[in-house]
Chain A
Amino acid sequence: MDTISLAFYALAFLIIAAAIFVVTSKNIFHSAIYLILALFGVAGVYVLLQAPFLAAAQVLMYVGAVSMLMIFAIMLTARIADQTIRHTNEQVLTGLLLSLGLLAVIVYSLWQTPFAISSDPMPEGAGGTLGKLLLTQFALPFEIVSVLLLGALIGAVVIAKKDSVRRDPEAPTTPLPKSIEKVAG
């Protein structure tokens, strides 16, 4: 077994194990930590697929930004009791059957499909090629994505603003923990 195969199987094992822990862990904070592990594994897979720029972007965007956002949200919302209450709903059996069925269908069709595998070499300096593609052939989607990110930024600020909170009078009136009260006002 050569090095690439060994690295692939190690990464695949890491990603799948971490992903299973993400969806089954009782403590939502542990789920977030396992999610970071799985995302690191995916960055490793990008390296194996000769996409070094994407691997770096993955570490920056997912491991750095999105995971931090998740942990931030968990710390603002979780209560101490979270670890003891049930963390799954009544659909566990249905969900398991559905996802296993979906997996069977996808894997069966994958192994039945003859893919047109090309043996062309990857372009030298894939990062530079990527940048050129983004600013020539994909210039319009590139600009639209920047508008989308700006919209998401403004949208997140507007949605989470203090003034927009209208308390539901029928909601249970348990007091907020001190740390949250400071943020929520």
Chain B
Amino acid sequence: MEGIGLIHYLTLSAVVFCIGVFGMLTRRNAIGVLMSIELMFNAVNITLVAFARYVTPATITGQVVAIFTIAVAAAEATVALAIVLLIYQHHRGIDVDRINFMKW
């Protein structure tokens, strides 16, 4: 085995992504779900940067896409946390299993 290659980074990314999926499916706290989603964003970013390093090193397009991902993730986190705060004020709790007031 000759050093660390693309496959190692992709495997790390897959593991982190699946941990994020597990957290997203099992957390009851809405903020916990959001944190799992941030983990998944980071796993995808590792994939993008690894491809930029090993597959297209001359044009570092993957890094540009990773920058856009970071910006969109920040926007997502801002709006999602505002919604969580609103739900907490409205509902006295942020248990995602009990937030069903849009269902009638």
Which of B23, B38, B84 is the one whose CB lies under 8 Å from A77? Answer: B84
Q: In the bound complex, do residue A20 and residue B19 qualify as a contact, i.e. CB atoms below 8 Å apart?
A: yes
Q: Considering the chains assembled together, what is the distance between the CA atoms of A57 and B73 in angstroms?
A: 13
Tell me, rounded to whole Å, the shortest Cβ–Cβ distance linking B94 to chain A: 6
A residues sitting closer than 8 Å to B (CB atoms) are 2, 4-5, 8, 12, 15-16, 19-20, 22-24, 28, 31-32, 35, 38-39, 42, 45-46, 48-51, 53-54, 57-58, 61-62, 65-66, 69-70, 72-74, 76-77, 82, 86-89, 91-92, 94-96, 98-100, 102-103, 106-107, 110-111, 115-118, 120-123, 126, 129-130, 133-134, 138, 141, 145, 148-149, 151-153, 155-157, 159-160, 164-168, 171-174, 184
Q: Considering the chains assembled together, what is the distance between the CA atoms of A115 and B59 in angstroms?
A: 17
Q: In the bound complex, do residue B60 and residue A45 qualify as a contact, i.e. CB atoms below 8 Å apart?
A: no
Q: In the bound complex, do residue A69 and residue B78 qualify as a contact, i.e. CB atoms below 8 Å apart?
A: yes
B residues sitting closer than 8 Å to A (CB atoms) are 3-12, 14-23, 25-29, 31-32, 34-36, 38-39, 42, 45-46, 49-50, 52-61, 63-64, 66-68, 70-79, 81-86, 88-92, 94, 97, 101
